[in-house]
A and B are shown apart, each in its own frame.
Chain A
């Protein structure tokens, strides 16, 4: 038994120790967390919203927007504290670690307007003057005239192209469908939580 001269013993112990600790703190708890039932009232995403979620992931939205409301007064504008069951339909997880922008766990309740979200994605500073969010203009098209099926985005004149209309692509509509689907179902044990979630609508 001498770690100093026996590489198999030394590195075998380091390997085994790491595996045991990994199982204890990461893998075994994860298999248990995975069994959490969905929060009552939580809806699986529609096909449209699921496509929108893929866009959200590929654009890296959660580097700036968390999806976790903490049980802290400062988080009350964003909704009720997140519960483990809220994440059942969420893989990959999008909890995030930074809030350059606001938390979006409950954005579908806090800002339920499709038009607002389309304008915001196309031209963030047209709706929130001091926003530092990128414009996702590549999910919109400029047209001379809108077709009957087009969803026209009423971008304010100062931000809009001259003599053109801005219409949303299917991707933009999917992304907004996802944002609108982000609704925390109220927890029955905490009846005041729903009010807190609603009160946050004006957080902008």
Chain B
């Protein structure tokens, strides 16, 4: 591959990791990338359908069927698989132990792939679990997913139990707890006995918020508590701040689901509780964000020369800013203008993409070359970074401005169709941003290919000489 251009940090250290584990991590990432490209191609198509409603007007590609395929494949396909790929390295490494079982992790990969594939096909056929965001897969498919989740939980818990150091590193607090919380969450979401009529909406608010806040957030944070100090070669700024954020995350996040149903018919006290704790949520959010930023403090030169840390920087900043946006959106006053508008769509992309996906990419670019000994092209990583970042900026700006106009149209009591007409240019800009984002994913997939592991027949890692 030759030596990297001057000024960029080359990978000096190749981690002597079990080739079988490296290969498995790579399989997870390859599948994650597949779901990313698949689901964001659909996302782009969906965005074009809003400006050209007759585009690809067929039963199996109707807007209402594709939308949940897009969201679920990104949640459970791309993001979850990519996060687990990194966990497969981080949990054993921070426990100074071998992963409990490679086999279990391998089975779980195929269970999750099967769940996302079957779920996507079912949704295209119009088979869903109600139009309830992120739990659209019907229960037989969800059971496949949950089995995978429990296998991971077992695998990681046993790995932590077998650790060769006394303390459980903070990353594993977040990661293992996230698997536990999500197992409870999904169980609560799919048991039917307390979910008739409006009662189901109460569960839906709880589920759709926790699906993000008790799954993606803690796993991504847990990974960052290891990867950021590792890449910067300095300890995390404050370990105890991480502990504080962990417990406040549990208490505050769990109670705020109903802020997705402000002014609805669900009990007023639940809505008020959700708003109050949405403000409380600022404690773990800024404890986490400031912890990461303070860890980076004074290392800005290193960040400029790294191709992984800029992704983490964007992720950390987006975590703080987008979560604060979420708090502001939960107030009754802001709900009058922003609820039901495209502003919410901007928020969900700002968080799932700006925060979670960028942290995951930072982790992949930082870690994978150390595992496989192969680096991606610096230029291609730069293209990925800037296309994704600028694409997201255009996307979020467009739907946030458009959503605000939509909401103010309603408040001014204009005819409803005015809010549709006014969105048209912003939907077009959204497609422009979305195109850049999608292109960046193709580049990412290529970069992943460039970082593929190469093994000798006897299974040892061949390190290329620079």
Contact = CB atoms under 8 A, between A and B. Distances in A.
Interface in B31-74: 49-51, 53-54, 57-59, 62-65, 67-68
Interface stretch (B190-198, B315-323, B363-371, B450-458): B190-198
Interface-centre pick from B177, B265, B417 (highest chain A CB count, 10 A): B265
B131 A96 contact: yes
Contact of B261 (A14, A59, A64, A95): A95
Contact of B168 (A10, A84, A125): A10
Interface in A77-93: 77, 81-84, 86-93
A138 B64 contact: no
A29 B188 contact: no
B255 interface: yes
B198 A87 contact: yes
A60 B168 contact: no
B266 A33 contact: yes
A26 B157 contact: no
Nearest to B277: A25
A91 B131 contact: no
Contacts of A66: 340
B57 A135 contact: yes
Given A92-B129, A95-B201, A77 B416 contact: yes
Contact of A17 (B133, B157, B250): B250
A130 B419 CA distance: 10
A14 B180 contact: yes
Nearest to B161: A7
Q: How large is the interface on A (under 10, 10 to 19, 20 to 34, 35 or more residues)?
A: 35 or more
Contacts of A95: 198, 201, 204, 261, 264
Interface in B337-384: 339-342, 344-345
Contacts of B304: none
Contact of A93 (B53, B198, B336): B198
Contact of A204 (B62, B177, B184, B416): B416
A26 B421 CA distance: 38
A134 B206 contact: no
A63 B200 contact: no
Contacts of B101: none
A71 B261 CA distance: 13
A101 to B, nearest CB: 8
Contacts of A59: 62, 64-65, 126
B76 interface: no
Interface string A183-204: 0000000000000000000011
B202 interface: yes
Instruction: Give the interface residue-count category, chain B.
Output: 35 or more
Given A97-B133, A131-B53, A5 B128 contact: no
Nearest to B181: A18
A124 interface: yes
A99 B338 CA distance: 11
Interface string A50-86: 0000000111111110101011111001000111101
B49 A134 contact: yes
B130 A94 contact: yes
B161 A15 contact: no
B386 interface: no
Contact of A84 (B64, B132, B265, B336): B265
B53 A125 contact: yes
Nearest to B202: A30
B202 A29 contact: yes
B53 A138 contact: no
Contact of B130 (A25, A57, A204): A57
Contacts of A128: 417
Given A93-B197, A134-B57, A60 B128 contact: yes
Contacts of B63: 60, 63-64, 134
B6 interface: no
B202 A26 contact: yes
CB-CB nearest 4 A-B residue pairs? A60-B64, A92-B130, A58-B126, A70-B263
18 contacts: A7-B160, A7-B161, A11-B157, A22-B185, A22-B254, A25-B206, A26-B257, A31-B194, A33-B267, A34-B198, A58-B128, A81-B265, A91-B195, A98-B345, A100-B342, A130-B420, A132-B420, A136-B62
Interface of B: 49-51, 53-54, 57-59, 62-65, 67-68, 126-133, 157, 160-161, 166-168, 173, 176-177, 180-181, 184-185, 188, 194-204, 206, 214, 243, 250-251, 254-255, 257-258, 260-261, 263-267, 270, 273, 336, 339-342, 344-345, 410-411, 413, 415-417, 420-421
Given A57-B128, A98-B344, 18 more contacts: A4-B167, A29-B202, A58-B65, A59-B64, A60-B128, A73-B413, A74-B413, A77-B416, A81-B265, A84-B198, A88-B197, A90-B198, A91-B197, A92-B131, A100-B342, A124-B53, A138-B59, A204-B415
